[in-house]
Amino acid sequence: MIAETLAAAALICLDPGHGTSPAIGRQREAIGPGSPVTKIKDGGGAPGEAEVVLAIARRTRALLERRGYRVAMTRTGRTFRGGNIERAQFCNRRGAALMLRIHADGSTDASHRGVSMLTPAHRRGWTNDVYAPSLRAARAIQRNLVAATGARDLGVVERSDLTGFNWADVPVVLAETGFLSNPTERRLLRSSAYQWRVARGLAAGVATFRSPRLSR
């Protein structure tokens, strides 16, 4: 009953990466509140990434809703009008229990493969309020994602340079679900069956993070 109540009360914000138009994506935004350091809003990601991660996000939404969670998505179609500040603020406004950013990786080395979970590095005034729960979520989701997919475990990585982390006021993680630059993982990530496996890992990880034992 307690677990069901937690699920019903929790809103999970899914953020399928990229999809921003090039005209908007080339604009610059502050990497964190008050920072003079800026980055472009959206570099476009790996070829085909926006489409793949949207498919994974839709499947993850379906599985989370079956578990009793409420789900909001930053984009449900091919495009997003804004940058990573707007994505973070979308989830902030809704008071999400977790912002789960969904991406796929790319490399100039086609042999690189595996899944990783990015989480905010600790910085006072930016991420100190979300650092600890984000790290718990990252560890829980990474374990479940590896178990569901059998992919190489590249671990949990703290990042201080991600705008979508530094503007978040809710726990936030970013799942790198595989390398689209790797021929084998690209075929998998484009297949519906494997997208469901990734989604099952993400949804199970969210449920683990939101369990009464880890939510205290």
Q: Whole-angstrom Cα distance, residue 3 to residue 197? A: 23
pLDDT 10s digits, 85-104: 999 999 999 999 999 999 99
State which H helix or E strand residue 135 sits in.
Answer: helix 131-149
Q: What is the pTM of this model?
A: 0.93
Average pLDDT over residues 19-43: 94
Q: State yes or no: pLDDT of 18 exceeds 80.
A: yes
CATH class label, 2-211: alpha beta
Q: State yes or no: pLDDT of 216 exceeds 50.
A: no
* Domain segments of the chain as ranges: 2-211
Q: Which of 93, 163, 92, 159 is nearest to 131 (CA)?
A: 159
Cβ burial of 57 (10 Å; 0-12, 13-18, 19+) is: buried
Confidence (pLDDT) at 2: 42
Q: State yes or no: pLDDT of 1 exceeds 60.
A: no
Confidence (pLDDT) at 9: 72
The DSSP bridge partners found for residue 159 are 120
pLDDT 10s digits, 138-197: 999 999 999 999 999 999 999 999 999 999 999 999 999 999 999 999 999 999 999 999
Q: State yes or no: pLDDT of 3 exceeds 60.
A: no
